[in-house]
């Protein structure tokens, strides 16, 4: 298994500001993934973060709004830019360990006022 | 798009057996995951199926039929702590980690 930590665990932000969420894994992984879970909804994949290359975004998500960094094989950040109340969600990072296991971090609960 | 369907809610009593179904679009299918998520917590990995058949892990089992685009999660000897949302997630294509989730099934276990 993998131990995944995220910072911050929660935050309350003003609209128009930006928040950077950090994800740290206790082992080296090729790809990390960022998901969003809006209130009462299931998880939606935002993007795939590859070390040494630009992130790959899913339909409906763009780099200007959700810039991602992946400086090494154990760490990634997701920034939620120019926030609005619609960005209030739980943001989770995830890693895959082999083809049959995928683990999630504890999540960052974001509230935008 | 990725059409993953599962029931919204289910209820059962302690000690009973419950089966949560999930159907999905078969084109490009490359694996199916089940997760458990308690309120306010991150999803916890339960099972993975990529070949047809039944995978058993203690009280939990997961079944897959690739030709039918169908899976189920079977929970036996239900306990109160099994009350949670159960998420079906499908991987399409070759990229590991890109999962598409159903809306989740909220299971309530009554005493």
Q: Do the chains contact at A31 and B42, CB–CB below 8 Å? A: no
Contact B14, B61 (CB under 8 A): no
Chain A residues within 8 angstroms (CB to CB) of chain B: 31-33, 41-45, 48, 92, 94-96, 99-107
DSSP state of B27: T
Which pLDDT does position B1 carry in this prediction? Answer: 44
Chain A, nearest residue to B4 by Cα: A42
Q: Do the chains contact at B97 and A94, CB–CB below 8 Å? A: yes
Q: Do the chains contact at A100 and B101, CB–CB below 8 Å? A: no
Q: B13-70 pLDDT, tens per residue?
A: 999 999 999 999 888 888 999 999 998 888 999 999 999 999 998 999 999 999 999 9
Rounded to 5 degrees, what angle do the CA atoms A66, A68, A72 make? 170
Q: B4-26 pLDDT, tens per residue?
A: 999 999 999 999 999 999 999 88
Nearest CB neighbour to B42, from listed A33, A96, A105? A105
Contact A106, A41 (CB under 8 A): no
Whether residue A85 is predicted with pLDDT greater than 50 in this model: the reply is yes
Which of A5, A19, A24 minimizes the C-alpha distance to A88?
Answer: A19
């Amino acid at each position: 298994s993998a131990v995944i930590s995220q910072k911050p665990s929660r935050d309350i932000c003003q609209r128009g500001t930006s928040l950077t969420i950090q994800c740290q894994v206790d082992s080296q992984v090729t790809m990390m993934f960022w998901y969003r879970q809006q209130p009462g909804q299931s998880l939606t994949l935002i993007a795939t973060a590859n070390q040494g290359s630009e992130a790959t975004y899913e339909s409906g998500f763009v780099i200007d709004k959700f810039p991602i960094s992946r400086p090494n094989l154990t760490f990634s950040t997701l920034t939620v830019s120019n926030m609005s109340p619609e960005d209030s969600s739980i943001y989770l990072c995830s890693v895959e360990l082999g083809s049959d296991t995928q683990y999630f971090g504890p999540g960052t609960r974001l509230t935008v006022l | 798009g990725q059409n993953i369907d599962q029931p919204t809610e289910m209820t059962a009593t302690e000690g009973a057996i419950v089966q949560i179904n999930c159907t999905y679009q078969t084109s490009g299918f490359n694996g199916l995951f089940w997760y458990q998520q308690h309120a306010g917590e991150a999803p916890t990995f339960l099972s993975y199926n990529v070949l047809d058949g039944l995978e058993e892990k203690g009280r939990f089992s997961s079944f897959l039929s690739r030709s039918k685009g169908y899976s189920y999660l079977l929970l036996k000897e239900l306990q109160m702590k099994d009350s949670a949302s159960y998420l079906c997630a499908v991987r399409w294509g070759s990229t590991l980690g890109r999962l598409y989730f159903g809306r989740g099934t909220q299971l309530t276990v009554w005493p």
